[in-house]
A and B are shown apart, each in its own frame.
Chain A
Amino acid sequence: EDQVTQSPEALRLQEGESSSLNCSYTVSGLRGLFWYRQDPGKGPEFLFTLYSAGEEKEKERLKATLTKKESFLHITAPKPEDSATYLCAVNSGTYKYIFGTGTRLKVLA
């Protein structure tokens, strides 16, 4: 059965303190791995899609990478406005996108 596990559940960083969020997955034939940002009470905002091991994508202070078993979301020199829940999802070619429970990130000024 397809499964996604995100760690840590919560992370507190000082402004400028870089770190990484992890998304481990088990799927039978990955079609795509997706990262989203979600602010409280709002819908997830699309960040990145990764398709194959070795692929990397960047957007401002965020960089997503993919291996055959996990994906990392690296946050470089975060700012308070980066505080949010970051969700990872996978699709194995079916209609279903499987989401992890997310990492709640808090960046302190």
Chain B
Amino acid sequence: DAGVTQSPTHLIKTRGQHVTLRCSPISGHKSVSWYQQVLGQGPQFIFQYYEKEERGRGNFPDRFSARQFPNYSSELNVNALLLGDSALYLCASSWTLAGYNEQFFGPGTRLTVL
């Protein structure tokens, strides 16, 4: 079975631009979460979506937004990029919302903001 897929793999943008990152969950998984991981740190929670609805949001500014589509794939959008947005963006999927479900991660999108 295919795991979680993310695109693109790498992305270089300049300050002030907009970026869209994409994620396809494992088949049958209905929950998708997004994380930001800066070098040397653990993943930081950004959003969780379940059944196309936002179910949780981390401590990130309104420049960050996301959505989930009927096929459970998801997009993360970041507007007005800042240098500090440079990071590895990870998507994770799980069967349900339940906190006892493990999440499975994709390979990530490396975003560099110049």
Q: A43-B107, A92-B99 are in contact. Are A97 and B40 (CB under 8 A)?
A: no
The DSSP consensus for interface residues of chain B is: loop
Q: A96-B58, A99-B42 are in contact. Are A43 and B99 (CB under 8 A)?
A: no
> Interface code A71-109, partner B: CB below 8 Å = 1, 0 otherwise?
000000000000000010101111111111110000000
Is B66 an interface position by the 8 A CB rule? Answer: no
Is B15 an interface position by the 8 A CB rule? Answer: no
A34 B103 Cβ-Cβ under 8 A: yes
Is B76 an interface position by the 8 A CB rule? Answer: no
- Counting contact residues on chain A (CB < 8 A from B), the size range is 20 to 34
Partner of B90, one of A4, A44, A91, A102: A44
Q: A34-B102, A94-B56, A95-B55 are in contact. Are A41 and B110 (CB under 8 A)?
A: yes
A93 B43 Cβ-Cβ under 8 A: no
A100 B42 Cβ-Cβ under 8 A: yes
B107 A42 Cβ-Cβ under 8 A: yes
State how many angstroms separate the Cβ of B49 from the closest Cβ of chain A.
10
Is B104 an interface position by the 8 A CB rule? Answer: yes
Q: How far is the CA of A101 from the CA of B42 in the complex (A)?
A: 4
> Interface code A14-33, partner B: CB below 8 Å = 1, 0 otherwise?
00000000000000000110
A32 B100 Cβ-Cβ under 8 A: yes
Q: A41-B88, A42-B108, A43-B107 are in contact. Are A96 and B45 (CB under 8 A)?
A: yes
Q: What would be 24 A-B contacts, judged by CB atoms less than 8 Å apart?
A: A32-B99, A32-B101, A34-B102, A42-B108, A43-B4, A43-B90, A43-B105, A43-B107, A43-B108, A44-B105, A49-B102, A89-B43, A91-B99, A91-B100, A93-B99, A94-B56, A95-B33, A95-B45, A96-B45, A97-B33, A97-B45, A99-B35, A100-B42, A101-B41
* Residues of chain A having any CB pair with chain B under 8 Å: 4, 31-32, 34, 36, 41-46, 49, 51, 87, 89, 91-102
